[in-house]
A and B are shown apart, each in its own frame.
Chain A
Amino acid sequence: MSHHVLSLLVEDRPGLLTRVAGLFARRGFNIESLAVGTTEVEGLSRITVVVSVEGLPLEQVTKQLNKLINVIKVVELEPETTVQRDHMLIKVKTDAASRSQVLEAVTLFRARVIDVASDALIIEVTGETAKCQAFIKVLEPFGIKELVQSGVLAIGRGSKSITEKVLK
């Protein structure tokens, strides 16, 4: 099983997400995470999708995506030349005794507390997938009550932009 981060530049059209997600489902490609949002260009959105492929080559995934009329461009983002980030909000059970330990972990992982209740904290953490996973491991013993996360976001390093060529 290998994981790949794909970045899709797409036209912002109704049903676009259904087309992309449906394609993954019916061709048996696995989506590990998905993040969608508008871009610096009006009418264009960007989808960052982490896929795991087994057996079949990634090429088949990108070719099928390229066949979708509203998909303008598909690129694979290699870890070496891209910046990749996960974003999570975590609600952790705390009491007077455990709070300081949790706060210590927050500092170590350069996370942030964004809400405080007498028996819980909400913590925000951003970073590469591995770091976020490690942070969760540390928090687990205290009791994670709720966890929400964005899909992986990724962008190529340097000054080049994937929208550039398309707009010409």
Chain B
Amino acid sequence: MANEVLTGAQAIVRSLELLGVTDIFGLPGGAILPTYDPLMDSTKIRHILVRHEQGAGHAAEGYASASGKLGVCIATSGPGATNLVTAIADAHMDSVPLLAITGQVNSTAIGTDAFQEADIVGITMPITKHSFLVTKAEDIPGVLAAAVLIATTGRPGPVLVDIAKDAQNGKAEFVWPPKIDLPGYKPVTKPHGKQIQAAAQLIKEAKRPVLYVGGGIVRAGAHLELLELAKIIGAPVVTTLMARGAFPDSDPQNLGMPGMHGTVPAVTALQRSDLLITLGARFDDRVTGQVKTFAVGAKVIHVDIDPAEIGKIRFADVPIVGDAKEVIAELNAELNADLKGTKPDIAEWWKFLSDLRTRYPLGYTQPDDGKMSPQFVISRIGELSGPEAIFAAGVGQHQMWSAQFIKYERPNSWLNSGGAGTMGYAVPAAMGAKVAQPERLVWAIDGDGCFQMTNQELATCTINNIPIKVAIINNSSLGMVRQWQTLFYNSRYSNTDLNTGTDTIMVPDFVKLADAYGCLGIRVEKEEDVDAAIKLAMETNDRPVVIDFIVGRDAMVWPMVPAGLSNDAVQFARDERPVWEEGEEE
């Protein structure tokens, strides 16, 4: 049978359908118009029209992070494409499987400074896993199939496909499945048997082991294997900002989050460990603090799908390249055979850590200004919503409190911008998550600053019936920056006032704004009203909900390891460092 002849634009839509894509976030313009025409007829793909392309990018990220599937966004050339840049960079830092499709000017006009021409392949080269420029209709199926393969396998990441307008308008036989020719792309997923044995050996000998768990476990879907490993060896677990939910918070072995705003037990466990069992984590500077003083007494087992992460920051005694799911499964089998049901004796270690946990639990003090405490509000959202909900945060204090005070029990329930720290992530990411998982309750826990960067996607949510809940933790300031000004710049508050609080001119008034967007807007100023507002939000599903929680502006995120200092300098409250028992201090 002869192959069907399609236009390039039809081939794009058909390829995406055949690749299993069901939802796309985007906004049209001249150079991508040909593709929007057949897209209108697709019964398999739902296109959601955003209000800003950055929103499309973050929505695709939220979609991917909530479901583990590929996220797809689409934009026109020039400014449409450059508006995607922040989200692409974000996906690159957090290894999110993302396909970004952009229209490009006619191939004959490329290089002439044509109207809305931008070299988006060049612009995004440093922030994509790979990118393609397509100038011929016949190349479309092969390139899209290759792009999806690259985005979703190995270490996931963003792939950009820039398609010239004449390639969309051209015609070619549609051949499926296309030949994928990637001779230089062979991710290693199966670990080396010898390394598994070496890792097992170190684990058996360790007196102070820690499972240092990163976002790779979430991306690999390796949480069950991790749980089994943790039970086999009985070691403490720390879950990084990207790995909240990879291991249940309710499990007594979970010490919480390590790093700059980590718990005292988690930070200290890493510092005092003799073996870091590093799983899909990358020794980020926000976790290690000053690298040279980080966990100096520890040997390192480092498991990662990306060989370049191993040895990048910290030498690995046992490097294991592979898919975390496969690696941990093999490690479990090896340890089960070796240990035969016995456990390494780490009772001393647990005694030390349990004591820390009792002495330095997470906590907070009531703000002096009589306003609500942000930690209380966030805790209640977590408690009333439960572990089946999804929480997407912005960037700042509210993000750290959401990571600390919400208890996560399952992977993909916590979405945030970890590596890039992109303000504006929360609302569109929550929107994407709700599209991917419509049955789940989805919260955006946002700052008053972050919210003002991407809140126009509330229009998208209202119009497309995507009833997300937004909790604005309104401290009337760029709180995290203000905290640093309090601590390190003598409380000189240069340009961190946002005037969104109740004792200011309140520009904008978030409740009125919510109303303008067709959302239910609620303002909460007293702690006794918090639960009722959250419950009302949970019951309201005919439109999005925005709750403006007015909180104290002087609340700070604790514990904290000041930037660039050793983790040994962790403070659990301002100027208060943990007291070590006699002989503990080195």
Looking at B125-133, B290-298, B353-361, B463-471, the stretch in contact with chain A turns out to be B125-133
Contact yes or no, A60 B183, CB < 8 A: no
A11 interface residue (CB < 8 Å to B)? yes
Q: Chain A residues near B341: list those with CB within 8 A.
A: none
Q: With A64-B308, A66-B307, A72-B184 in contact, is A14–B133 under 8 Å at CB?
A: yes
B312 interface residue (CB < 8 Å to A)? yes
Contact yes or no, A22 B184, CB < 8 A: no
Q: Scoring A residues 60 to 84 as 1 if CB is less than 8 Å from chain B, else 0, what string do you get?
A: 1001101111111100000000000
Contact yes or no, B184 A70, CB < 8 A: yes
Contact yes or no, A57 B307, CB < 8 A: no
In the complex formed, the residue of B with least CB distance to A65 is B308
CA A70 to CA B133, docked complex, whole Å: 14
Contact yes or no, A59 B311, CB < 8 A: yes
Contact yes or no, B306 A60, CB < 8 A: no
CA A55 to CA B470, docked complex, whole Å: 47
CA A72 to CA B183, docked complex, whole Å: 6
**Which of A18, A63, A69: most chain B CB closer than 10 A?**
A69
Q: Scoring A residues 117 to 156 as 1 if CB is less than 8 Å from chain B, else 0, what string do you get?
A: 0000000000000000000000000000000000000000
Contact yes or no, A15 B121, CB < 8 A: yes
Partner of B150, one of A19, A69, A166: A69
What is the interface size of chain A, counting residues whose CB is below 8 A from a CB of the partner? 22
CA A64 to CA B129, docked complex, whole Å: 11
Partner of A67, one of B121, B182, B308: B308
CA A22 to CA B123, docked complex, whole Å: 11
CA A19 to CA B131, docked complex, whole Å: 10
B580 interface residue (CB < 8 Å to A)? no
CA A66 to CA B130, docked complex, whole Å: 12
Q: Chain A residues near B311: list those with CB within 8 A.
A: 57, 59-60
Question: How many CB-defined contacts (below 8 Å) exist between A and B?
Answer: 39
CB distance from A37 to the nearest CB of B (A): 18
Contact yes or no, A18 B306, CB < 8 A: no
In the complex formed, the residue of B with least CB distance to A19 is B125
Give the residues from 351 to 390 in chain B that come closer than 8 angstroms, CB to CB, to chain A. Answer: none
A26 interface residue (CB < 8 Å to B)? yes
B185 interface residue (CB < 8 Å to A)? yes
Contact yes or no, A166 B308, CB < 8 A: no
Contact yes or no, A60 B184, CB < 8 A: no
Contact yes or no, B133 A68, CB < 8 A: no
Contact yes or no, A18 B184, CB < 8 A: no
Q: Chain B residues near A73: list those with CB within 8 A.
A: 184
Contact yes or no, A15 B312, CB < 8 A: no
In the complex formed, the residue of A with least CB distance to B129 is A69
Q: With A60-B308, A63-B308 in contact, is A69–B122 under 8 Å at CB?
A: no
In the complex formed, the residue of B with least CB distance to A25 is B126
CB distance from B245 to the nearest CB of A (A): 28
CA A66 to CA B311, docked complex, whole Å: 15
CA A14 to CA B136, docked complex, whole Å: 14
CA A14 to CA B111, docked complex, whole Å: 14
CB distance from A24 to the nearest CB of B (A): 12
Partner of A69, one of B121, B126, B182, B308: B182
In the complex formed, the residue of B with least CB distance to A64 is B308
Contact yes or no, B126 A22, CB < 8 A: yes
In the complex formed, the residue of B with least CB distance to A44 is B183
CB distance from A63 to the nearest CB of B (A): 4
Q: With A64-B308, A66-B307, A69-B130 in contact, is A166–B183 under 8 Å at CB?
A: yes
In the complex formed, the residue of A with least CB distance to B131 is A15
Q: With A15-B121, A22-B125, A69-B150 in contact, is A60–B312 under 8 Å at CB?
A: yes
Q: Chain B residues near A26: list those with CB within 8 A.
A: 126
Contact yes or no, A11 B308, CB < 8 A: no
Q: Scoring B residues 173 to 184 as 1 if CB is less than 8 Å from chain A, else 0, what string do you get?
A: 000000000111
Give the residues from 1 to 32 in chain A that come closer than 8 angstroms, CB to CB, to chain B. Answer: 10-11, 14-15, 18-19, 22, 26
Contact yes or no, A63 B307, CB < 8 A: yes
Partner of A11, one of B126, B184, B312: B184
CA A67 to CA B130, docked complex, whole Å: 9
Q: Chain A residues near B121: list those with CB within 8 A.
A: 15
Partner of B122, one of A15, A70, A72, A166: A15
Give the residues from 36 to 62 in chain A that come closer than 8 angstroms, CB to CB, to chain B. Answer: 57, 59-60
CA A71 to CA B184, docked complex, whole Å: 5
CA A11 to CA B132, docked complex, whole Å: 13
Q: Chain A residues near B183: list those with CB within 8 A.
A: 11, 72, 166
Contact yes or no, A69 B185, CB < 8 A: yes
Q: Chain A residues near B126: list those with CB within 8 A.
A: 22, 26
CB distance from A8 to the nearest CB of B (A): 10
Partner of A68, one of B122, B184, B306, B307: B184
Q: Chain A residues near B184: list those with CB within 8 A.
A: 10-11, 68-73
CA A63 to CA B305, docked complex, whole Å: 12
In the complex formed, the residue of B with least CB distance to A63 is B308
CB distance from B160 to the nearest CB of A (A): 12
Q: Chain A residues near B312: list those with CB within 8 A.
A: 60
Give the residues from 62 to 121 in chain A that come closer than 8 angstroms, CB to CB, to chain B. Answer: 63-64, 66-73
CA A66 to CA B187, docked complex, whole Å: 10
CB distance from B439 to the nearest CB of A (A): 37
Contact yes or no, A67 B306, CB < 8 A: yes
In the complex formed, the residue of A with least CB distance to B155 is A67
CA A69 to CA B128, docked complex, whole Å: 11
CB distance from A15 to the nearest CB of B (A): 6
CB distance from A26 to the nearest CB of B (A): 5
CA A110 to CA B451, docked complex, whole Å: 71
CA A73 to CA B183, docked complex, whole Å: 10
Q: With A66-B307, A69-B182 in contact, is A15–B150 under 8 Å at CB?
A: no
CB distance from A125 to the nearest CB of B (A): 35
Q: Chain B residues near A19: list those with CB within 8 A.
A: 125
Contact yes or no, A15 B308, CB < 8 A: no
Binding site for B on A (CB under 8 A): 10-11, 14-15, 18-19, 22, 26, 57, 59-60, 63-64, 66-73, 166
Binding site for A on B (CB under 8 A): 121-122, 125-126, 129-130, 133, 150, 182-185, 306-308, 311-312
7 interchain residue pairs of minimum CB distance = A63-B308, A72-B184, A69-B130, A69-B185, A71-B184, A72-B183, A63-B307
| 14 A-B contacts (beta carbon < 8 Å) | A11-B183, A11-B184, A22-B125, A22-B126, A26-B126, A57-B311, A60-B308, A60-B311, A63-B307, A64-B308, A67-B308, A69-B130, A69-B150, A72-B184
